[in-house]
Amino acid sequence: MFELPEELRLLKRAVREWSLKKFDPNLAIELDRREEFPFELWREANKLGFLNVRFPIKYGGQEMGLLADAIVTEELCRVDSTLGTAIVLGNFSSDCILLFGTEEQKEKYLSKVTSGEWISGGAYTEPAHGSDITSLDTKAVKEGSYWIINGSKTFITNAPIATFFVVLCQTDPESKHRGQTMFIVEREDPGVETTVMHGKLGIRCSLTGEVSFSDCKISEDRLLGKLNRGFYQFMEFLDKSRIQIAAQAVGIAQGAFDVAWKYANERTAFGQKLIDFQAISHKLAEMAIKIDAARLLTYRAAWYYDRGVVDPSLSSMAKAYAARVAVEATDYAIQILGGYGYFAEYKVERYHRDAKITDIYEGTTEINMNVLINFLPKSSVLRTFMLS
């Protein structure tokens, strides 16, 4: 585990070389300012197979697993946090179809996702409830062989551009979270409306918006997974997606470190390089320690997931720690660059803005702490080291 196999080292190198060649810093600044999705880069990354490494070959993927996906995510976000984040989130929530879908659903949707034809989104969060996913106002009611959906979702990744959404609805109001179900809803379905939300602090190329459903009528074959098991399916999806967000955070932190390290070794002040000041060198050393610790937590969680060990403790630990490290490391990087760190040209101000969201989505750090505490006694992995 302390050394990546050759195929993953080659993948890591290929993604980094492509990103360094294609991620124009000026383009990133401009798209960040305009809040536009990098469609051309996303399509090319799909064409090269970078975004489908975790999907099975039969659906157009490479079947390399979640660790490979984490490495891709890390490298894309390391080279540019804004472009990288937008690109890797282009297939957000399609994993729900992989995990719970019928063969027909997988063939229809996943093949379009892995080919770069369709963008996916997940509609879970609601305006009145936020992190409390146990309470939903969006309802789906059965009418004959159809389901009628009414309600609204907010903070939805890819809302303005997604071809389809995985939507979590209340199907049995009396049972609360035990009566929730997932559905696949397409943008072109009658009664679906989306609006874009402007003015985000960071990840502005990853478009966010609201999705509303007004008597949205979908066929029974759009039900995803099992009736009234949507909440539990969503929790299982988070065990996977939190590892991906942890990788995003690691990449952002490493990218900011790269800029700060280069600057500290080139910039002189008071007759010596910044790296020769102990205050600066210790900040860099602390950053290096924490980033590598976050990376190892993330890789471990992905490695176990690939081996069938789905452990909420591991994914929440990796996500919570990597997110805090990303925020801290990017803040350090700005401080090391001083006044220059405050300007877009030097990238780290954007890395800092992009880092903060990893502390919030896929469960806030506080939510992930709750998950960790609740599942820690049940974790066969952590019990070996911590609770034996």
Judgement on whether residues 88 and 164 belong to the same structural domain of the protein: no
State the chain's mean pLDDT as an integer. 96
Say yes or no to pLDDT of 60 above 70: yes
244, 319: one domain: yes
Q: Residue 132 — pLDDT band, cuts 50, 70, 90?
A: confident
Residues 73/247, Cβ–Cβ less than 8 Å: yes
The total of other beta-carbon atoms located within 10 Å of residue 143's CB is 8
Residue 387 lies in a domain: no
**Looking at residues 305-329, what average pLDDT do you find?**
97
The radius of gyration of the chain from alpha carbons, rounded to an integer in Å, stands at 21
What pLDDT does residue 236 have? 97
Q: The domain spanning residue 64 has which CATH number?
A: 1.10.540.10
Instruction: Name residues whose C-beta falls within 8 Å of residue 103's C-beta, 6 or more positions apart in sequence.
Output: none
Q: Which residue has the higher pLDDT, 378 or 361?
A: 361
65 and 187 co-located in one domain: no
Region 49-70 average pLDDT: 97
Q: State yes or no: pLDDT of 383 exceeds 80.
A: no
Of 246, 335, 248, whose CA–CA distance to 286 is shortest? 335
Secondary structure (DSSP) of 295-352: HHHHHHHHHHHHTT---HHHHHHHHHHHHHHHHHHHHHHHHHHGGGGGSGGGSHHHHH
Average pLDDT over residues 151-171: 98
Q: Do both 236 and 373 map to the same domain?
A: yes
Band the pLDDT of 2: cuts 50, 70, 90: confident
Residue 152's nearest CA partner among 168, 141, 173 is 168
Q: What is the dihedral of CA 65, 70, 71, 76, to 10 degrees?
A: 130
Mean pLDDT of all residues in 299-323: 97
Say what percent of the chain tops pLDDT 90: 94
Q: 46 φ, ψ to 5°?
A: -65, -45
**pLDDT reported for residue 135:** 85
- Give pairs for 342-347: CB < 8 Å, separation 24+: 344/29, 344/32, 345/25, 345/29, 346/259, 346/263, 347/25, 347/80, 347/255, 347/256, 347/259
CATH code for the domain of 310: 1.20.140.10
Query: pLDDT tens digits for 329-344?
Result: 999 999 999 999 999 9
Last residue of a domain, one of 75, 99, 114: 114
Question: Does residue 269 sit in the same domain as residue 210?
Answer: no
Considering the domain boundaries, does residue 134 fall inside one? Answer: yes
Say whether pLDDT at 28 is over 60.
yes
* pLDDT over 70 (residue 134): yes
pTM: 0.96
> Domain span at residue 177?
120-228
Domain boundary among the residues 114, 144, 166 is at 114
Residue 1 lies in a domain: no
Please indicate, yes or no, whether residues 76 and 188 belong to a single structural domain of this protein. Answer: no
How does DSSP assign 49-91, residue by residue? TGGGTTS-GGGT-----HHHHHHHHHHHHHH-HHHHHHHHGGG
Q: Where residue 164 sits, what CATH number does that domain have?
A: 2.40.110.10
Residues 106 and 191 in one domain: no
* pLDDT tens profile 231-277: 999 999 999 999 999 999 999 999 999 999 999 999 999 999 999 99
The pLDDT score that the predictor gives to residue 384 is 76
Identify whether residues 278 and 236 lie together within a single domain.
yes
Residue 354 resides in a domain: yes
Q: Residue 1 pLDDT more than 60?
A: no
Q: Answer whether residue 386 is part of any domain.
A: no
Q: Which of 200, 228, 256 is the last residue of a domain?
A: 228
Give catalytic residues, as residue numbers: 362
Q: What are phi and psi of 55, to 5 degrees?
A: -90, 150
Quick one: pLDDT at residue 131? Answer: 83
- Single out the residue of 224, 232, 156 nearest to residue 192, CA to CA: 156
Q: What is the pLDDT of residue 386?
A: 72
Are both 343 and 263 inside the same structural domain?
Answer: yes
Number of domains within the chain: 3
Residue 170 tokens read as: 């209340």
Question: How crowded is the C-beta side of 86, counted as CA atoms within 13 Å?
Answer: 25
388: in domain: no
In the structure, how many helices (H) and strands (E) does the chain have? 14, 10
Residue 178 pLDDT grade (very low, low, confident, very high; cuts 50, 70, 90): very high
Q: Does residue 345 lie in a domain region?
A: yes
Confidence of residue 387 (pLDDT cuts 50, 70, 90): low
| Judgement on whether residues 277 and 252 belong to the same structural domain of the protein | yes
Q: Where are the beta strands (DSSP E) in the chain?
A: 120-123, 139-143, 146-157, 164-170, 180-186, 192-196, 208-219, 223-224, 268-269, 272-273
Which residue type does 36 have?
Answer: E
Same-domain check for residues 176 and 191: yes
Joined tokens for residue 384: 């070996």
My answer on whether 46 and 19 are in the same domain is yes
Q: What is the pLDDT of residues 67-110, one digit of tens each?
A: 999 999 999 999 999 999 999 999 999 999 999 999 999 999 99
| Average pLDDT of the segment spanning 122-134 | 91
Residue 191 lies in a domain: yes
